[in-house]
Amino acid sequence: MPQIAIVGGGPGGLFTAWHLEQLATAPIEITIFEATDRVGGKVITPRFTAAPVHYEAGAAELYDYSPVGDDPLRELVESFGLPTVALGGSRVYVGGRAIANLDDLRDAYGDRACRDLGNFDTWARSVMTPREFFASGSDHAGSAEPSGRFDTTLAALPSREIRHYLETMIHSDLATPPAATSVAYGLQNYLMNDPAYMRLYCIAGGNEQLIDALVARLAATMRRSTVVEQVGEGSADQLRLTLLGHEGRREADFDIVVLALPMDALGRLAFASGSLAAAMQRHLAHHDHPAHYLRITLLLDGPPHTPTDDDGYLMLDAFGGCCLYLESAREPEARHGVLGWLLGGAAAESMAAWSDADLVTAALATLPDPLAVDPERVLEARVHRWTGAVSSLPGGWQPLSQDQRHRPAAKTHPGLFVVGDYLYDSTLNGVLDSAEHVAGCVAAELTDHAREI
């Protein structure tokens, strides 16, 4: 029976196992190796200790592309019967002032600035339609995708205020300064605010339920607390993994190895053979564009004040532009307020060295008047530092074909695949696309191999 190893028990690894199990036409044996004692990676919905209230420490929102095209993530969530809640947020707070629409913008900055934004918006839509947005990252994206650095686009905007407004609006999604990413990725993160392009939702009761639902349905063997340290060559064209777990260090050979790891973890893996190490070096050099997140979440005594009932989040111009999640707005009749700050980019990287207490003080100081919270009301604070955990330039400056992306050493080591959100758009939807592609390739190879025998 073909032996398949999946390295990484995050969403990428679990999605790959799920699709492989759906597609396999003959028996296969899948083992998932996860370094920590829990699977789910950056989809994590912890609970506070002071009250039975949960919050999102990693991925907070899922992207709904169903108005434009196929949406495998939405379909998966629905097929598992998981209830969802739509997420919305139109407010950007600049200098303590809420801007929710063009009238607010005109009041704040005047007619000329308003026209500048209108021109930028028209241009953005003309270079990336909802269909092109949907296809971005795929082999069908075509050469029409805008190229170059995103900061050059912003620098061309006549109005300084509009530049600041746009940077505030999208900084926490980009998680990087505009100079470190492409026009295409910058525009995607601007256009995603328009429901004609996509919508946001989350899983009621916590996104980690998606992980639980997957794990409950998988037949694969799960090896938790097992770090894969090295990939090398085994006997008879197999790949050999060096594993470190409770029982010590050991080696095991597999016909197929799927590395379902983010860039930082992939960079820590050793590759034993010279040609494999060189191929992985090229893969890393193309895709390694680290971006940073930091999340500060506060449990409040009593419900928070929210600007409107349907706001799930808003943007603040603090920390270079950050997102404030009104997490308790997702729960009907929440008895406790939960506020979550998502910092991105340079602020997230440098402030990761701060103490939790200093981060909480800094976060509370950013709240605009309508949302101000007396520090006495904070029952519990949680901080999650995600330095280097996501990609600022998914796909790299020049996106590769699907096969080149997923098979970094196709000629010399055809049994080695990679799965990652950094190959598409740094999201769960992207890592699912990646997993689907790899599962399809592996299933097709196993079928061909079985026919030859």
**Residue 343 near ligand FAD by CB under 6 A:** no
> How many C-beta atoms lie closer than 10 Å to residue 51's C-beta?
15
The site map against ligand FAD for 84-123 (x = CB under 6 A) is ----------------------------------------
Near ligand FAD by CB under 6 A, which window of 28-36, 64-72, 76-84, 401-409? 28-36
The count of residues in the chain is 453
Near ligand FAD by CB under 6 A, which window of 10-18, 122-130, 158-166, 272-280? 10-18
**Residue 390 near ligand FAD by CB under 6 A:** yes
Shortest CB 136 distance to ligand FAD, Å: 15
Shortest CB 49 distance to ligand FAD, Å: 21
**Residue 35 near ligand FAD by CB under 6 A:** yes
Structure tokens at 312: 């799930």
**Residue 313 near ligand FAD by CB under 6 A:** no
Render the burial of 204-235: b for 16+ CB within 10 Å, e for the rest.
eebbbbbbebbbeebebebbeebbbeebbbbe
Q: Which residue is nearest to ligand FAD (CB)?
A: 10
SS3 per-residue string spanning the chain: CCEEEEECCCHHHHHHHHHHHHHCCCCCEEEEECCCCCCCCCCCCCECCCCCCECCCCCCCEEECCCCCCCHHHHHHHHCCCCEEEECCCCEEECCEEECCHHHHHHHHCHHHHHHHHHHHHHHHHHCCHHHHHHCCCCCCCCCCCCCEHHHHHHCCCCHHHHHHHHHHHHHHHCCCHHHCEHHHHHHHHHCCCCCCCEEEEECCCCHHHHHHHHHHCCCEEECCCEEEEEEECCCCCEEEEEEECCEEEEEEECEEEECCCHHHHHHCEECCHHHHHHHHHHHHHHCCEEEEEEEEEEECCCCCCCCCCCCEEEECHHHCEEEEEHHHHCCCCCCEEEEEEEEHHHHHHHCCCCHHHHHHHHHCCCCHHHCCCHHHEEEEEEEEEEEEEECCCCCCCCCCHHHHHCCCCCCCCCEEECCHHHCCCCHHHHHHHHHHHHHHHHHHHHHHHHHC
Q: Taking the mean position of all CA atoms in its chain, how far away is CA 434? A: 13
CA–CA gap between residue 284 and residue 148 (Å, rounded):
21
Near ligand FAD by CB under 6 A, which window of 3-11, 105-113, 210-218, 325-333? 3-11
The site map against ligand FAD for 248-287 (x = CB under 6 A) is ------------xxx--x---x------------------
Near ligand FAD by CB under 6 A, which window of 191-199, 325-333, 420-428, 442-450? 420-428
**Residue 43 near ligand FAD by CB under 6 A:** yes
**Residue 59 near ligand FAD by CB under 6 A:** yes
**Residue 136 near ligand FAD by CB under 6 A:** no
Near ligand FAD by CB under 6 A, which window of 59-67, 136-144, 189-197, 278-286? 59-67
Name which position in 11, 340, 345, 396 contacts ligand FAD (CB under 6 A).
11
Structure tokens at 352: 């990761």
Name which position in 13, 137, 186, 395 contacts ligand FAD (CB under 6 A).
13
In the complex with ligand FAD, the residue whose CB is nearer, 8 or 163, is 8
**Residue 8 near ligand FAD by CB under 6 A:** yes
In the complex with ligand FAD, the residue whose CB is nearer, 186 or 262, is 262
**Residue 12 near ligand FAD by CB under 6 A:** yes
Near ligand FAD by CB under 6 A, which window of 9-17, 102-110, 274-282, 322-330? 9-17
CA–CA gap between residue 265 and residue 244 (Å, rounded):
15
**Residue 329 near ligand FAD by CB under 6 A:** no
**Residue 227 near ligand FAD by CB under 6 A:** yes
**Residue 427 near ligand FAD by CB under 6 A:** yes
Name which position in 74, 295, 406, 437 contacts ligand FAD (CB under 6 A).
295
Return phi, psi of residue 76, to 5°: -65, -45
In the complex with ligand FAD, the residue whose CB is nearer, 62 or 92, is 62
Shortest CB 100 distance to ligand FAD, Å: 21
In the complex with ligand FAD, the residue whose CB is nearer, 261 or 360, is 261
Near ligand FAD by CB under 6 A, which window of 1-9, 140-148, 395-403, 409-417? 1-9
Shortest CB 31 distance to ligand FAD, Å: 11
Name which position in 4, 6, 20, 60 contacts ligand FAD (CB under 6 A).
60
| Residues forming the site for ligand FAD (CB under 6 A) | 7-13, 33-36, 41-43, 58-62, 227-228, 260-262, 265, 269, 293, 295, 386, 389-390, 420-421, 426-429, 431
